[in-house]
Amino acid sequence: MLYFTKWKAALVLIVCALGVVYAAPNFLPKDVLPTESSFLPSKQINLGLDLRGGSHMLLEVDTDSVVRERYEALADSIRTELRKEKIRNRPREATMKGAEVTVLNPEDAEKARELVRNIEPNTVMSGEGNNIIVSYNETAMKELVDRALSQSVEVVRRRVDELGTTEPSIQRQGTNRIVVQVPGLDDPSRLRAILGRTAKMNFHLVNAQKTVSDARATGLPPGTMILPAADQGDRAAGIHEYLVDRRIVVSGDNLVDSQPTFSDGRPVVSFRFDAAGGARFGDVTSKSAGRSLAIVLDGEVISAPRINEPILGGSGIITGQFSVQEANDLSLLLRAGALPAPMQILEERSVGPGLGQDSVEAGEIAAVLGLVFVIAFMVISYGRFGIYADIALMLNLILVLAVMSVLQATLTLPGIAGIVLTVGMAVDANVLIFERIREERRNGRTVINAIDAGYRSAMSTILDANITTLIAALVLFSFGSGPIKGFAVTLAIGIVTSMFSAIWLTRLLIAGWIKRRRPTELVL
């Protein structure tokens, strides 16, 4: 156990040297770090929300609205099929039960059922008499909700990334919730505004048959709806609502880019469609010259410009009483894409950088005190061997920092607790070995034989203890969330590095001392 080949000794020293090199950027100011083009390491450990300050939000996705919207689309498909066969029907409002249609002629009910029986896969048909209800089976419903949540996570991620923040944490929680943590964000209210909007934008033609007041008095024309005006300029001019065609002429799904810009000295938002959207936009503006085109965002008309001439380039601008910040935020929302469902903010917390700094200082004090006490205990208890164990302990902490820097792991306050725990665990293996060496020495073995037997006998116990702790850390990481994951990450890294420092580094130091001094007595 005490014999080291040259390549093994070189390997241990190379690993220690790499640990020092990759941990070094954490002790340097950001302005003196090597650039990305340099071959030198430049990555620092990311500080979590509780250390750096920032915003924490718990969002709930309204998956019911996704299901209802999908059932509305399914009801439209059913009505289209029935109209093809000239079967008169009346739709009902979509609910969580399914897409419901009433056949007006009882004699056509059975024929209608045959037509819609296989209108879409993974659906089941129910209802009695003239009523036909088509709903998704359990598997399809689960896939629909899961897909909506995955899309919401991706859209939230794109929106947060557009804010220019670094290392945000965005994770699913349960079946319909999303946890968002944005360290270092100075304006939590802007994050709330960005994440609280669905940002579903569509283009509708303004209906010119009636005014809004006439439509309310005599009834809405077929295929129309009334939407509120969101633009302050419209409200100032006395326009509070618009009568628009229900049909979407161009969908916001066809948007590929949106940027804030200026027109006539006022902030506006430019947009650009993909090829399909640009073709539809050009066709609509060519056929509807003289009419107004309502730009609808989340059920409100944010702008309704008049179409003076065909717009064939697939791009345009959104005008309104925007401030520069509002234009920036709107273009950000449109670039990131619409959420598949509205979201509600269930919990919101902001951690100031001052509180984060206090946490860092408290964690540093705890780590330093723990380190000092452990170092003193090892030197007092085991003399020279204790010094070697302390050297390995310091290298172990450096390796933990290096691994976390390379992996770009996020250090949280519980993570600091994991590092403090690692300080104690790092010398635990050495304590087992040294006590075993004492026992072998009392049994009359020579110095070299006692040391060799101590390492060999304690090895199985060390492996068992560290492997079981590593399993616990992996379980915490797999089933935990947030702070628990941070603790599990540092604990797992610390276990692996402490095994290296105790079994390899300390043993190399002791083997080198024995080879140089050839001691006949051992003070331990």
Q: Per residue in 167-218, pLDDT tens?
A: 677 888 888 899 888 877 766 777 888 887 787 888 899 988 888 888 888 8
Give mean pLDDT, residues 318-333.
82
CA of residue 125 relative to chain centroid, distance: 38
Q: pLDDT at position 14, please?
A: 92
Provide the pLDDT for residue 352: 66
CA dihedral 457, 461, 466, 468 (to 10 degrees): 150
Q: Nearest CA to 57 among 230, 198, 222, 173? A: 173
Sheet with 54-61, strands from edge to edge, namely 169-173, 177-183, 54-61, 343-351
Which tens digits make up the pLDDT trace of 390-428? Answer: 999 999 999 999 998 888 877 877 888 888 888 777 888
Assess whether pLDDT exceeds 60 at residue 166: no
pLDDT of the residue at 243: 92
Give the C-alpha distances (Å, rounded to integers) separating 375 from 392, 414, 439, 501, 522.
Answer: 11, 23, 23, 15, 20
For the CA atoms of 290, 295, 300, 305, the dihedral, rounded to the nearest 10 degrees, stands at: -40
**pLDDT of 351 over the 80 cut:** no
Q: What is the mean pLDDT of residues 349-357?
A: 65
Contact of 300 with 230, CB cutoff 8 Å: yes
Place of tokens 């140089």: 516
Our CA angle for 416, 418, 420, nearest 5°, is: 70
Least trusted range by pLDDT, from 104-118, 371-385, 386-400, 461-475: 104-118
pLDDT for res 205: 92
Where are the extended beta strands (E) located within 413-511?
none
Taking only the tens place, the pLDDT of each residue in 224-278 is 899 998 877 677 777 889 999 988 888 877 888 888 888 888 888 888 888 888 8
223 pLDDT higher than 70: yes
| Region class of 238: left (phi > 0), else alpha (psi between -120 and 50), else beta | left
Over residues 68-85, mean pLDDT: 82
Lowest mean pLDDT among 44-58, 215-229, 264-278, 282-296: 44-58
What was the pLDDT predicted at 2?
64
Q: Give the residue, 149 or 360, on which the prediction is more confident.
A: 149
Task: Report which DSSP code applies to 179.
Answer: E
Predicted confidence band at 463 (pLDDT cuts at 50, 70, 90)?
confident
Non-local CB neighbours of 41 within 8 Å, separated by 6+ positions: 21, 22, 24, 25, 34, 405, 406
Mean pLDDT of the chain: 83
Tokens of 459: 């090895």
**Quick one: pLDDT band at residue 471, thresholds 50, 70, 90?**
very high
- Contact criterion met (CB below 8 Å) for 163 and 185: yes
Give me the residue label for tokens 């073709």: 279
Q: What is the pTM of this model?
A: 0.61
Phi-psi region of 422 (alpha: psi -120 to 50; beta: other; left: phi over 0): alpha
State the average pLDDT over residues 337-364. 74
Identify the top-confidence range among 146-155, 177-186, 386-395, 494-503.
386-395
Which domains are assigned to the chain? Answer: 6-51+352-517 (1.20.1640.10), 55-62+153-349 (3.30.1360.200), 63-141 (3.90.1070)
